[in-house]
Structures are given as C-alpha cells and as structure tokens.
Amino acid sequence: MANFRKSCIDREPLIGTFSAIPHPVAIEVTARAGADFLCIDWEHSQIGRERIEDLIRAADVHRVPAIVRVPGHAPEQIAAVLDAGAAGVLVPRVSTADQAKAAVMATRYPPVGERGVGPGRAANYGYSIPDYLSKANDELVLAIQVETSEGLENIAEIVGVDGVDVIFIGPGDLSVSIGALGPKGKNKLDAAIRTITKTALAAGRTVGIFRPSTDDIAEWSATGISFFVLASDTMFLGSAVAEKTANARKLATKATVV
C-alpha cells in the first residue's frame, strides 16, 4: 500500500469504487473482489465519522488502499480521516487555487503544510509518531474534485498548485453546474472534461474521473485519464440483483398442477 501514491503519480491504470455501505463486510467483499483502491464516501452516504476507522481497518486487512471523500474543506475533517489511517483524501468542490492550496495545507505536515500531529491509528495511537511523520507527506494521496463551472474556469490555476496529486473530475455536478445535464448536454460536458484533462496533464497532474459503468472507460483512458472510480458498492449491488432477478424470471416457468 505504500506504493499507492507512486502508482497514482506514475499514472498507472487504477480502478476503484465508492464505498457507501456503512459496514466493514461490504468493504471486505469489495476489497476481495479485485478493486485497486476504495474511496469511502463520507460526503454522499450514511457513513458517520465514528464508522470510518472501522471501514479503513477492514480495507487494510486485505491490503487495499482506502481513501476517503470528506464532506467539505474543513481541515479537521481531513485530519480525522488521515489520523484514522486513510491512504489519502478526496476533497470535493474545489473551484479555486486557494481552495486547492488549503487542501494541501490540511493534508501535509510542515514544512509543506499545516496538518497537526495527533496520536491516532495512523501513528499507532501515538507510539509511532516519528515514523509516521517521516513518511506521511510522501505516501498520502491528495485528490481534489473539480466539479463546478468556476472550477472549470479556474482550472489552469488549480492544476498549478504544488502538493495536489490527482485532479478528479465529478461529471454529475459538473454537468449541472455548466448546464450540460442529460443527453443533450453530452457534447458540452465531454468538451469540459477534455479541457480539464488536457490542462491537468500538461501541468504534470494525474487525472481521475467517476464513471457509473465501464461503457466508456477505454474512451476516457485514451485521453490520459488513469484514475477511475467506477460506480459504488450500492450501485453494484443494485445492478447485480436486477440482472440476476431478471434472468431468473426469464428462466422460470409457471408451475402447472397435474
């Protein structure tokens, strides 16, 4: 897991998924299924702060990196998940360079940033603080989510912020923000995604994106995107049940009484 940040920065193809089910069993099942990483979704799920550490611990059992999408920009939220042992953090709704810099400050220890030292799980509850401090800045992944019209407008300044590892595109919110929702807005949304991708790659940043299915992974991979968050555990559960139930219904025949 120590090489996860290097894999991100080197733009190795990485396929992860959002974890929204607030139970370690869901984490273990997903981790064993072959995901390269998990993104525990604290922003858009019923997962609470107290549960996050258990979910990270479950991912650690199977040596699958778990990053956490925090609800906002608050430094204490970022510090909390990193202290719990997360392999990194995904900060949503980053629309300016100043917000990107603030995320760096909250994620990195001095002299790079301003993260406070705490005796959490990541530092072996205080018994391994020097060891953790010596490697945290080099190993923790900082991904920032660009998903607004303002972020699109400011993308050149955002990607220039040192300390950001992954520029992660949120197509759902971006489509709403730029007025490109639905099939009629596809070309406009795709153009915005390509602008963000091209600008970020030119600045030496890794680019990631959320995709609800595998249908266009090859298309977006060809643009240089290498960090994919594919659907979520809840979406996979729903689609699998729907598919298998429909198939079973087709195969089942009405019982006849002789």
State phi, psi for 30 to the nearest 5 degrees: -65, -40
Q: What is the pLDDT of residues 110-142, one digit of tens each?
A: 999 999 999 999 999 999 999 999 999 999 999
Q: Which residues are catalytic?
A: 44
Q: Where are the beta strands (DSSP E) in 22-137?
A: 37-41, 66-69, 88-91
**Domain definitions of the chain by residue range:** 4-242
Residue 66, SS3 per DSSP: strand
Summarised one tens digit per residue, pLDDT across range 183-207 is 999 999 999 999 999 999 999 999 9
How far apart are alpha carbons 88 and 39 in whole angstroms? 9
Whole-number pLDDT of residue 256: 64
Query: Measured between alpha carbons, how far is 69 from 16 in angstroms, rounded to an integer?
Result: 13
Please, are residues 165 and 8 in contact by the beta-carbon 8 Å criterion? Answer: yes
Tell me what pLDDT residue 253 has. Answer: 76
Is residue 124 a contact partner of residue 132, using CB atoms and an 8 Å limit?
Answer: yes
Rg of the chain, C-alpha, whole Å: 20
* CATH superfamily of this structure's domain 4-242: Phosphoenolpyruvate-binding domains (3.20.20.60)
pLDDT value, residue 46: 94
Phi, psi for 22 (deg, rounded to 5): -80, 55
Whole-angstrom Cα distance, residue 199 to residue 221? 15
Do residues 163 and 142 make contact, with C-beta atoms less than 8 angstroms apart? yes
Give the pairing of strands 141-146 and 88-91: parallel
The list of the chain residues with pLDDT below 50 reads: 1
pTM: 0.95
